[in-house]
Amino acid sequence: MSVSCKYLMFGVYCLVSLPLFSQSYYLELNLNNPGGGNIFAIQKPQFEVLNVIEKAANDNKIKGLILNIGSISRGREYLWELRKALVQFKASGKKICVFICYADLDVYTLASIADRIVMDELGNLNILGYSTGRGYAKQALDKLGIGVRELRYLEYKSAAEMYTRDTMSEADRRQYNDYLDDIFNLTRNTLTGARGWTIDEFNTILNREFFFSAKNALSRKLVDSVGRKDAVLETVREMEGEEKIQYALYGDLSSSLTGSEIIYTPPKAGGLFKRPPIIAVVNAYGQTDMTRGMAALELSKTIRSLADNRRVRAIVIRMDSPGGSAEAADYLDETVRYAKQKKPVVVSMGSMAASGGYWASMNASHIMATPYTITGSIGVIASWFYDNGLNSKLGLNIETIRRGDHSDLMNGILVPYRNLTDLEEERYKGLILDLYGSFTEKVAAGRNMELDKVEAFAQGRILSGTRALEAGLIDSIGSFSDALHTARQLAEIPEKTSISYRVYPEPKFLDRILERIPLASVLFKNRGNEAADTASFIAELLLPDADIRYRMERNGQILPILPLEFTLK
């Protein structure tokens, strides 16, 4: 290729990749839920949004930012990560205007980073605090004729309580109260610092006022102005002291406030003739299961392949899992240990990475969590569902002929036809405590801790990210963006070197659609085991709760798992 041709190509590249070449802009970051319910609309990847904020902070052409979150719906750990990135953006000396419409405590906490908050004139603000709740199905199962035996020998491992109790155990109440204290205190301190409130003012807003229309919020000085597009644009003009402002957009155009057709893109790695180093981002979402959830078999193949790829300098695993199968969790843990021998492996914990989710994370080069992450829950549990009148109600009966005192243990229609004997439970207890011992020993080895120190925070106890750091179960508190920077540092990639971030596994188009269609899990089932599928399908009709179905499919299995029905509001 001639020299002149190379210069021509370089010039074209600059024009394409630098659309904001000559002017200054306010960036609208539109993070509303995409597509208005359109199943083909896909949310922007989290790390891409964080990278855009970082790029804008260092971009001299970006004067400030409009954060459009009128209809955002994301977890509080994501909102915390977003706010942390915006703190860094403001540190660059640039201003932020936030637009809200329907906001709860977490969305308002994010909005509090703003220099000015604009609220939709018909919006509302609900500052209600935090609560945790558990459902209890014992009486419902009794009426159906399904008995449940909780095989629990660890103080805080409460994953089967919803089937065997009507109320919360003291251990459960204690661990959830600790978690609520941690995240509530953090949110309160963030808001009082950002808005200049005293604790008494915060408590009044929370406990006496709590519901706010736009007019109420304005008079209470919770927001700075009321309106929509015009109010936002006028606020920006006032903030900048300029009449004419140019805008660029990242996000959905149809719900944009500015309507700008100048698209702001994530930072691009390398250049026309460069092959930049790669940091691989691996999404590990869902239950630790060999073929479902995070699909440990395929995920392990992906991670091993990345470990063997010379261009991949580090691996960042985004872990968001309540646990599940011990086999799958250990399979992933083994893979992480293999990869770590070749390059840094950083785990970034999302909303939860507990029990089996922690098991799969514990040997990473560096473990990072948000303060709101639910983690820990080092423990295992099993439950035994059996016929306690169900078949009689359905007009079914079973007879068995056996060789061996326990050969009929698994016999039954839908569920085993009998309860465990005392001897069978005693044998189960030994298996459960053996697996628990293996779990704690692996944690001690992986985290280089004394076994008694692990035990002090084990027994199935859930921890906030903050408390997990104090316990030594993680290495730092930080966001997804922080995890990417840590991976860069551990891989010894210079700060000025551009990096290519690649996401694995790449979601298939059909999977993206199915995950947004109700009942997709029922209509597109794995038909590998027809008998199990038939029982599962009938269970879905009788027991619509997904947690119960999951436990019944794994009846008697010893699981490192959280309550799947755990809800936090």
Distance, in Å, from the CA atom of 371 to the CA atom of 81, rounded to the nearest integer, reads 10
- Helices vs strands, H then E, count in the chain: 22, 21
Q: Rounded CA gap, 501 and 276, in Å?
A: 10
Confidence (pLDDT) at 17:
44
Amino acid at 551: R
Q: pLDDT tens across 290-342, in order?
A: 999 999 999 999 999 999 999 999 999 999 999 999 999 999 999 999 999 99
State residue 37's pLDDT score: 45
Alpha helices (H) in 112-251, listed in sequence order? 138-144, 161-164, 170-195, 199-204, 214-219, 229-240
Question: 351 — alpha (psi -120 to 50), left (phi > 0) or beta?
Answer: alpha
Least confident span in 31-35, 439-443, 459-463, 503-507: 31-35
Over residues 189-231, the pLDDT tens digits come to: 999 999 999 999 999 999 999 999 999 999 999 999 999 999 9
Within 10 angstroms of residue 464's Cβ, the number of other Cβ atoms is 24
Mean pLDDT of the chain: 88
Report whether pLDDT(536) > 70.
no
Exposure on the CB side of residue 9, measured as CA atoms within 13 A: 9
Partners of residue 314 on adjacent β-strands? 279
Query: SS3 for 254?
Result: coil
